[in-house]
Amino acid sequence: MIEHSDAPRLRVAVIGVGRVGSVMGAALRRAGHLIVAGSGVSDESTRRAARLLPGVSLVPADEAVGQADLVLLTVPDDQLSSLIDGLAATGAWQPGQLAVHTSGAHGIAIFAPAAATGVVGMALHPVMTFAGRSEDLLRLDGAAFGVTAPPEFRPVAETLVLELGGEPVWVPESARAAYHAALSMGSNHLVTLVNDSSDVLRASGVEDPVRLLGPLLNASLDNALRLGDEALTGPVSRGDRATIEAHLAALHGTPFLQPYLAMALRTMQRAHAAGRLSREQCAELIEGIERAGGTDT
């Protein structure tokens, strides 16, 4: 973490003082930058700004942008394009400004209307979840940031990440969508998978699914991160057709059948690629799945 350095201090405007914006603004202030204005209209935003960015006035977005060297855009992904366009239409952007968004899905092409006026756009995506509370500052320390910027401004973007307390990871513009898809698979889909497992256990009569799943899932995640496909266990990786058929029969007619099937087939592919299953074993598993009605919707 860099709290103060010899880098120039910047006047920063935070457009969208939500969970991410308020914390990022607080981290930039911690690094010595001056938060000159923020933008947010909800009561929750006002309270959050008062807590994490005390003394910072909340004003309309175009007014905030007019006061800043660095504009931090921390609005939802689907609002980012219209915000950048709207600020360009009102003449709010100023030549030489730095503009940073924190979206994982977008790179720097989305800044085209601002770049046309001489603004330098950068994407700094914190690979972390936020609750919009002061403890989130601690989560930034050592967190990875997916960085995309014009090549000549890469050192500037990476310095900003270091000042925030994070670790920059370069993501080419062309890979931005795949990068974000990967993170969604690992984080968002994991929540769905865990909650589906909990629901099936609860429907099976288990009163406290977390008691069973907590230790198991923590160990599985640790193994997967350390060992890769060597961490694969269970009936699919063993080619245990009878057990898989029993699973499919138990889940038949429930919303959990198709997710189980999709993950079983993908697990089979990974197990085969890792040399754990032969082509013949894979064919037997697929045959068993089809016989059990696992391909029905």
The residues spanned by each domain of the chain are 11-174, 186-291
Condensed to tens digits (0 to 9), the pLDDT of residues 11-54 reads: 999 999 988 999 999 999 999 999 999 998 888 888 888 999 99
pLDDT band, very low/low/confident/very high, at 296 (cuts 50, 70, 90): very low
Q: What topology is assigned to 11-174 in CATH?
A: Rossmann fold (3.40.50)
Q: What gap in Å lies between CA 206 and CA 201, rounded to an integer? A: 5
The pTM assigned to this predicted structure is 0.87
Q: What gap in Å lies between CA 248 and CA 251, rounded to an integer? A: 5
Condensed to tens digits (0 to 9), the pLDDT of residues 178-193 reads: 999 999 999 999 999 9
Quick check: 289 and 261 in contact, CB under 8 A?
Answer: yes
Q: What gap in Å lies between CA 111 and CA 84, rounded to an integer? A: 7
Condensed to tens digits (0 to 9), the pLDDT of residues 105-123 reads: 999 999 999 999 999 999 9
Question: How far is the first Cα of the chain from the last one, in angstroms, to the nearest whole number?
Answer: 51
Kindly report the backbone phi and psi dihedral angles of residue 6, in degrees, each rounded to the nearest multiple of 5, phi listed first. Answer: -85, 0
Q: What pLDDT score was predicted for residue 1?
A: 42
Please determine, for residue 280, whether its predicted confidence score (pLDDT) is greater than 50.
yes
Q: Do domains 11-174 and 186-291 have the same CATH topology?
A: no
Q: What pLDDT score was predicted for residue 2?
A: 41
Q: What gap in Å lies between CA 39 and CA 21, rounded to an integer? A: 10
Q: What percent of the chain is predicted at pLDDT more than 70?
A: 96
Condensed to tens digits (0 to 9), the pLDDT of residues 57-107 reads: 999 999 999 999 999 999 999 999 999 999 999 999 999 999 999 999 999
Kindly report the backbone phi and psi dihedral angles of residue 15, in degrees, each rounded to the nearest multiple of 5, phi listed first. Answer: -95, 100
Which one of 1.10.1040, 1.10.10, 1.10.3470, 1.10.150 gives the CATH number of domain 186-291? Answer: 1.10.1040
